[in-house]
Amino acid sequence: MCLGIPGQVVEITDPDAYLAKVDVNGIKRSISVRLLADSGIDIGDWVLVHVGFAMAKIDEREATATLDAVRRMGKAYTDELDAFRSTAGGLANHAKGTVRSDKWPLNSQNPPLKGEKMKFADEFRDPAAARALVKSITELAGDGEYKFMEVCGGHTHTIYRHGLEHLLPPSIELVHGPGCPVCVIPMGRVDDAIWLAGRPDVIFTTFGDMMRVPGSDGSLLEARARGCDVRFVYSPLDALRIAVDNPAKQIVYFAVGFETTAPSTAVTLTRARQLGVSNFSVFCNHVTIVPPIKAILDSPDLRLSGFIGPGHVSTVVGNRPYRFVPEVYGKPIVVTGFEPLDILQSVYMLLAQLREGRCEVENQYSRVVRDEGNPAALALLAEVFELRAHFEWRGLGFISQSALKLSAAYAEFDAELLYSMPGLRVADPKACQCGEVLKGVIKPWECKVFGTACTPETPIGTCMVSPEGACAAYYNFGRLHRETAALVGQQRAAAHG
Amino acid sequence: MSPAVTSDGAQASREGHASREEQVIDRITAIRKRRPRLIDEVVTLAHGAGGKSSAALVDAVFIEAFRNPELEQLGDGAVLTLPSGERLAFSTDSFVVSPLRFPGGSIGHLAVHGTVNDLAVSGAVPRWLSVAFVIEEGFAVGDLREIVADMAAAAGQAGVTLVTGDTKVVPKGAADGLYITTAGVGIIPADRELSMARVRPGDKVLLSGTLADHGMAVMLARGDLGLEADIRSDTAPVSGAVEALLAAAPGTRWMRDPTRGGLGTVCNELAGAVGVAVILDEEALPVTPLVQGACDLLGIDPVYVACEGKFAAVVPADEADDALAALRGHPLGRDACVIGEIRADPEGVVALRNAFGGTRIVDMLVGDPLPRIC
């Protein structure tokens, strides 16, 4: 959902519509560079791509500086690397499953199997650096006890996908936070979405992640099986294209996501107006990142040592909105990227702050996050959206000024004004403890229905639906005894060294 | 700010916490061993995706009604013993891929390769195929000719003959263009014994080539994602590569072609049925950078995406080197790798370990990211 992928601009296809072509590992796609219009885009620039939009330029110097810092932190790195190289046949250069061309002849059908690394991704998956960093973290943590919350679902996904939780010493507990936009959509809003999808002239469009989220009577996927025209899109611009291609239909786009994704909806709406599209509307469920962090810090039942701060949201909002975390609540926060080394480095930085008696906002993800964020995107958000007085968050209840609706200037695109949806508030199932999970009060496995009544096939709560939800990530990836995970992992390491 | 303090109390509570977590994990493992339950009231696309929902539908509806020992082998093909003692493999598959043509092949190639491959991984030498067409009214005869020519060419290459068939035409709108069903029969050589039950801890898992090419090629060919890349389907008959492997590694335990649901599903079926652990090495999994890029962009894990010209084989450890060399010597096995091993524990689990010692579970696929790819 909050996925951001590095891509290189290879062609400016339509400067007036801000369209460019990017190359991701050889895959080309047309994307909008409207959000980077102020800073100018040149062929050869590297950008972070999210739902068909360039969110930020990637700063190569910052990326190198971050990797240098990672290597300094993992002081055992050099030794480790030497040991690894001498035993693993140079695997350290091929962190990602792309094997060596001299050893593995090319498949005749598809071009190069290996050799090329994925820039700005593979470097941050370097196994030797990761192992060295884990050693340094273990040393730095000493005999302390730490509880860090990763705010983003994307972080949760990385942590489980790469088995980081079991690599860290047991004295460091990672608590999974509320930053999965799919997980926080309350049931009543899903019911409204299904109601919209059921209108006879409507094509209902949404991200794939939302398709399986249960409402009080089934999901959008089940609505589609009953005959509703529900389509999943990669980008809101794709939904707009469906509207242009189907003038006799009404196209509703189910907009979800934090400030990461809201600008893509904003650009799509300005584009809809430019093109004079009148059969397109947005069911807006965009939420904002700071209020839930505040709500968590105000929650009496949770004691955190610090935050692994949001990454892609911060490309838009910058680092400044988090100052209250150290200044008012006295907790350190490190804005963090989404590769394994990013997360490990962030844990190290948090520990260093605590050890050195510092408490500040630090930016580990400086290759894409600037202090001031993305002013063009923020200006667009201010034009297209306004804050709602209240919004209900799944499990967290009503939080004031925590969500966006379309501004009066864009009222003609607002599905909430165009359709008289039921708009009922539906209480979460009693057994479901998503709220406590989202707040980090309990671990996924501590929920009473986890893995028994609530599984990825039959989710009761939203945390079990999205791959970035804490429960789904734990169930799908993490459900291993710590000892077993260590044993299996060690055997791997042993096989190579 | 000062670092949190530690105490014996904290240590003890941490350990208590850990043991409760293990109890939960054990309870889930026990629940997962139960038969999958079908709770849906209508069939959804997930029931055709080859993952958990498919297993539940097959178990609750089809097995329930048809129950017999041959069916309950649940292989890619049934193994039938003739009164003479000779054994046949018998398999069937339907093809509903959209679009009908994609880089690297067409529904015609798939319809032959799919059934030939199911027979081959059952240990049979594929011989005869039947074919049934369901055609939508209005379908161009020229297009049909081309697809049928693809089938003839594929059959020739795989050494099978199309010996019987059927044609049905349905009114416009009642089908989407063309669906093809093939069934096939192959002969299993007398000395050959392949079955899941023969898999043992310590065995190695081999994969004959790159993952996910077919699924991503079809996904991109549809054009609705706006992705441009020269990714070609790997659709091909694996029977030659299978024979090369079996000649070099006669102790081979079991094989399967990772089509719908991908390698992740195949490994889970093995781990679940036999009660072993399948441990895969992440950086040994062969994926081309193009396919990896497309998967990353879409947030799809290549381990769940279909191949149509690859197979996974479990071989005894002492035959693994010979098996690998034989596969790599075959044109369709040049990217073959040892991708993992069988262990006794954790029972029923497929886990992926990465180069820095991290481990994660690879579960059955839930939901369907890529409908109608074969």
B138-175 pLDDT, tens digit per residue, is: 999 999 999 999 999 999 999 999 999 999 999 999 99
What does the pLDDT read at residue B28? Answer: 82
Better-scored residue on pLDDT, A469 or B211:
B211
How far B358 CA sits from the closest chain A CA (Å)? 4
Whether B46 has its CB under 8 Å from any CB of chain A: the answer is: yes
- Tell me the chain A residues in contact with residue B204 when contact means C-beta distances shorter than 8 Å: none
Interface contact B228-A130, CB threshold 8 A: no
CA–CA separation, B366 vs A408, rounded Å? 41
Could you report the per-residue pLDDT of B173-188, keeping only the tens digit for each? 999 999 999 999 999 9
- Tell me the chain B residues in contact with residue A27 when contact means C-beta distances shorter than 8 Å: 227-229, 290, 293-294, 297
Whether B14 has its CB under 8 Å from any CB of chain A: the answer is: yes
How far A481 CA sits from the closest chain B CA (Å)? 6
Residue A489's H or E segment, with its range, is helix A482-496
Interface contact B357-A131, CB threshold 8 A: yes
Count other Cβ atoms within 10 Å, centred on residue A13.
13
Could you report the per-residue pLDDT of B241-282, keeping only the tens digit for each? 999 999 999 999 999 999 988 999 999 999 988 999 999 999
Please name the amino acid found at residue B134. V
Angle of CA points A318, A324, A330, to nearest 5°: 125
What does the pLDDT read at residue B29? Answer: 78
Q: Which of A329, A468, A492, A496 to mutate to test the interface with B (most CBs of B within 10 A)?
A: A492
Interface contact A478-B360, CB threshold 8 A: yes
CA–CA separation, A151 vs A4, rounded Å? 16
Query: Average per-residue pLDDT in chain A?
Result: 86
Question: What chain B residue is nearest to A359 in terms of C-alpha separation?
Answer: B1
Interface contact A492-B337, CB threshold 8 A: no
| Rg of chain A taking only CA atoms, in angstroms | 23
pTM: 0.86
Name the residue with tokens 């004959």. B208
For residue B49, name the pLDDT band (cuts at 50, 70, 90). Answer: confident
Of A170, A158, A472, A91, the residue nearest A346 (C-alpha): A158
Whether B327 has its CB under 8 Å from any CB of chain A: the answer is: no
What does the pLDDT read at residue A113? Answer: 43
Could you report the per-residue pLDDT of B293-336, keeping only the tens digit for each? 888 888 888 999 999 999 999 999 999 999 999 999 999 999 99
Interface contact A357-B230, CB threshold 8 A: no
Q: Which parts of chain A register pLDDT below 70?
A: 1-2, 75-118, 489-497
What does the pLDDT read at residue B82? Answer: 95
Sign of CA dihedral A293, A297, A301, A303: positive
Burial class for B223, CB neighbours closer than 10 Å (0-12, 13-18, 19+):
exposed
Interface contact B289-A25, CB threshold 8 A: yes
How far A356 CA sits from the closest chain B CA (Å)? 8
- Tell me the chain A residues in contact with residue B290 when contact means C-beta distances shorter than 8 Å: 25-27, 110-111
Could you report the per-residue pLDDT of A99-143, keeping only the tens digit for each? 333 333 333 344 434 445 667 788 888 888 888 899 999 999 988
Please name the amino acid found at residue B44. T
Interface contact A29-B351, CB threshold 8 A: no
Of A117, A125, A129, A181, the residue nearest A158 (C-alpha): A125
CA–CA separation, B344 vs B253, rounded Å? 16
CA–CA separation, B155 vs A67, rounded Å? 53
Nearest to A127 among B27, B356, B367 (CB): B356
Interface contact A107-B369, CB threshold 8 A: no
Task: Give the number of A-B residue pairs with CB atoms closer than 8 Å.
Answer: 265
CA–CA separation, A356 vs A368, rounded Å? 27
Question: What chain A residue is nearest to B45 in terms of C-alpha separation?
Answer: A225
CB hemisphere CA count around A193 (13 angstroms) = 35
CA–CA separation, A94 vs A117, rounded Å? 7
**The pLDDT of residue B365 is above 90:** no
Of A461, A383, A411, A485, the residue nearest A182 (C-alpha): A461
Residue A254's H or E segment, with its range, is strand A250-257
How far B88 CA sits from the closest chain A CA (Å)? 33
Interface contact B4-A490, CB threshold 8 A: no
- Tell me the chain B residues in contact with residue A485 when contact means C-beta distances shorter than 8 Å: 351, 358-359
Contact A179, A390 (CB under 8 A): no
Contact A32, A59 (CB under 8 A): no
- Tell me the chain A residues in contact with residue B360 when contact means C-beta distances shorter than 8 Å: 160-163, 477-478, 480
Interface contact A97-B231, CB threshold 8 A: no
Please name the residues between 93 and 152 in chain B that touch chain A, using a CB distance below 8 Å. 104
**The pLDDT of residue B371 is above 70:** no
Query: For the stretch A475-497, what's the b/e string if a residue is b when 16 or more beta carbons lie within 10 angstroms of its beta carbon?
Result: bbbbbbbeebbbbbbebbbeebe
Nearest to B232 among A28, A110, A171 (CB): A110
Q: Residues for chain B: how many in total?
A: 374
Interface contact B290-A111, CB threshold 8 A: yes
Using alpha carbons, list the distances in angstroms from residue A402 to A293, A411, A476, B252: 10, 20, 30, 59
What does the pLDDT read at residue B370? Answer: 61
What does the pLDDT read at residue A78? Answer: 56
- Tell me the chain A residues in contact with residue B303 when contact means C-beta distances shorter than 8 Å: none
- Tell me the chain B residues in contact with residue A171 when contact means C-beta distances shorter than 8 Å: 6, 14
